[in-house]
A = this chain, B = another copy of it.
């Protein structure tokens, strides 16, 4: 483990408070009359070209947000009052920021940026350098492993067993790069403790040609251990040499770190949260198996480039920070309780599920870094589906419901697989992007009508992320955008975005119920009542 520095932290109590900041007061005032996008002459082509930011090869358009120059300046003032740049430096430099001051807490560094700090401008902090060295060592082990796997010419299927952050990120990344698939290589995710999950996956897989990767940092996640055991028994039943098939991704020294049971153990560390582990060997093994290690390196390169952009003090070059600020404007000043993430891209089908965890598990907190209850809203509900599908699903409510939902749209100049055709004078991809822009405009401007059912109130805000094409570099940068957006919001809300104490109580009670099912004597009458009701179902 990396050593702990004891210098005075920029996160220390007293240096900043969200609600008493000068910017907060001014933003509260400004939010009484937010920019009216429906008014004639307000949403103009000039405005669209003016509210633009660039980071790496991504562009953010936010002219369809309810902001004007004064709001944007005050949001930037808020960022400076919250010392977000110093905090981002502290995080990427390896300060122990995963903690609640004065109370028992995880007391860890947060160094997912070190997982990809192998390229230009390496972080010079000692802790960051050590972490990057450890990450590089695992990447090299992964390279050797993939080389062996390829050489054995036997393996066609990877059974990837993990849950939560050990599944959502890797799955999003694997689905996101489908066009790069190597011949005869498939990755299957097994996550739910529902036995139908593993049974459904296994019925389509020839076990002789299947590797099993089990991902659990602690080495003791209930669902993951259960599913691993399920698959191992199937290997045994098929008469296979089980351990030859099994690979572990776990913390060094965990119960799973056992060369007698796995052909290889790859390591992750307590300075990488599950939801931030997409660029560790957790995501790496799935991507390298399916698409090759070079692709994974490109993805890391994109993520690293965005890590550097997140330290950029020119706001127009820092997309993660701008997205964080616009989110705070919508959440804390315009009081919108949810955020829809809508990629106009089939390949990003699980992006919203990934960001849902990333954001809600990180910032779904009700105490600040010092253990005090916050009196302002933190993480909104994050949800979404890819479009144009989503347009035919819930967009009715987006346009004409009683509640306003802010959007983050994502689009590309061209498709990933490059197969397209013209119909009625435009390609499929043309139709896709035309719909994206049309929705942003329709939501913002609305429509008047003498028929109340054809009236659209408008003023429903959105941002649009644009890039040329969803390639590995671009996807890595996108992953990093959301990681840093979440971190910045946590900095501004003054909360610890890196623990997840809220999942513990359910685990404790589940064990009490399980103990009753297993015939345990310790009474749990509430659990029994539910189990009785279940037993009576027929």
Nearest CB on B from A5, distance (A): 23
Given contacts A365-B400, A441-B527, 12 further A-B contacts (CB under 8 A): A48-B530, A49-B529, A52-B533, A61-B530, A163-B392, A199-B419, A361-B395, A374-B402, A377-B402, A377-B403, A379-B402, A392-B503
Closest to A412 in B: B537
Q: Nearest-CB distance from A424 to chain B (Å)?
A: 8
Contacts A179-B196, A196-B416, A423-B229 hold; do A505 and B399 have CB atoms under 8 A apart? yes
Q: With contacts A48-B529, A194-B415, A529-B49 known, is A430 near B353, CB below 8 A?
A: no
Distance, CA A242 to CA B337, complexed state (A) = 49
Residues of B within 8 A of A532 (CB): 49
A505 touches B456 (CB 8 A): yes
A104, A430, A512, A530: most-surrounded residue (chain B CB, <10 A) = A530
- Taking a contact as CB atoms under 8 Å apart, the answer to whether B167 and A389 are in contact is yes
CB-based contact A49/B391 at 8 Å:
no
Within 8 A of B (CB), among A490-504: 499-504
User: Of A87-95, A129-137, A258-266, A432-440, which stretch is located at the interface?
Assistant: A432-440
Asked whether any CB of chain B lies closer than 8 Å to the CB of A17, the reply is no
Check A146 for interface membership: any CB of B closer than 8 A. no
Are A364 and B400 also in contact (CB < 8 A) when A61-B533, A195-B429, A535-B413 are? yes
Instruction: Evaluate contact between B509 and A426: CB separation under 8 angstroms.
Output: no
Assess the B43–A397 pair: CB atoms within 8 A. no
Q: How far is the CB of A235 from chain B (nearest CB, A)?
A: 13
Q: Is the CB of B194 within 8 A of A400?
A: no
In this complex, the interface size class of chain A, counting residues with CB under 8 Å from chain B, is 35 or more
Knowing A164-B393, A223-B388, A399-B506, say if A194 contacts B379 (CB, 8 Å).
no
Q: Which of A429-488 contact B (CB under 8 A)?
A: 429-435, 437-442, 446-447, 451-457, 464, 466-468
Contact A193 B435 (CB under 8 A): yes
By the criterion CB–CB under 8 Å, are B400 and A501 in contact?
yes
Are A366 and B457 touching (Cβ within 8 A)?
Answer: yes
With A366-B457, A378-B402, A466-B534: A392-B194 Cβ-Cβ less than 8 Å: no
